[in-house]
Structure 1
Amino acid sequence: MYQNKVTLIGFLGNDAEVHTANERSFTTFQVATKSSYKDKKSGEYGSHTEWHRCVVFSRLSEFAGTLTKGTHVQVEGELRSREYTPKKAVGSKSKKAETKQRIWEIRVASILKLDRAEKSAPEDQEQADNTGEDATF
């Protein structure tokens, strides 16, 4: 049995970007996750932020395109790697530009927004509270 499943909970680093390639639409965004640790020598606490590139296809891509910087999300998908050759910069003689690069991405299967729902108008809230008190079971 094999399993390639990733679950990330973090915040978007910037607005999601919708792209089209080969007549196929997809959305990309970056999710930041953070871990904390205690330095054994100094005894001080530190933290490390990791950035994850996420790619979304199909109908979920439409929803992902609405996500904005700072949105708190839970993303599930599978870890994928791919190789590409970066476009050579004009006038660049660097050999590094000619070598293949490997990039790791999360191919997203589901997205859950963890942000709290925006508050409704005060009169809507009062009406919702009143109906809860009068309900009979």
Structure 2
Amino acid sequence: MYQNKVTLIGFLGNDAEVRANNNRSFTTLSLATKSSYKDKKSGEYVSHTEWHRCVVFGKLSEFAATLTKGAHIQVEGELRSREYVSKKANAKQRIWEVRVDSILKLDRAEKAAPEEQEQSELLLEEEVA
């Protein structure tokens, strides 16, 4: 049995970017995750940010395209590597990316407009009375 499954929770470093390759559109996300550890010598905590390239295809790509910088999300998918020829170095490069199967937006819902809150408060008062 084999399993290749990745779950990441973090914040987007940039707005989602829609791209096309071979007449197929997809969305890329730059997701930051943080971790920290205590340095044995100094005793201080050291923070580390890891950046993950996430690629989204199909219908989910349309939703992913609406995500903006700073969004708090959870992605699940499969870890993939691929090679390409770098134009700068003129050599083969290998990159790792997450091919996303699901996205969960973790941001809190925006507060209702003040007039909507007043209306809901009036309805509650009528129900209580």
Identify the residue that residue 30 of structure 1 maps to in structure 2. Answer: 30
1:41, distance to aligned residue in structure 2 (A): 1.0
Q: Which has the higher mean CA deviation after the structures are superposed, 107-116 or 124-133?
A: 124-133
Structure 1 residue ranges, 4+ long, deviating more than 3 angstroms after superposition: 126-135
Answering whether residue 103 of structure 2 is matched by residue 111 of structure 1, we say yes
The residue type paired with residue 99 of structure 1 is: A
| Coordinate RMSD, CA, aligned | 1.6
TM-score, length basis structure 1: 0.85
1:7, distance to aligned residue in structure 2 (A): 0.4
1:42, distance to aligned residue in structure 2 (A): 0.8
Identify the residue that residue 120 of structure 1 maps to in structure 2. Answer: 112
CA distance in 2, matches of 1:13, 1:132: 41
Identify the residue that residue 70 of structure 1 maps to in structure 2. Answer: 70
**For structure 2, which runs of at least 5 residues remain unmatched after alignment?**
none
Q: Hey, which of these two has a bigger chunk of strand by percent?
A: 2
Provide the identity percentage. 77
Answering whether residue 80 of structure 2 is matched by residue 80 of structure 1, we say yes
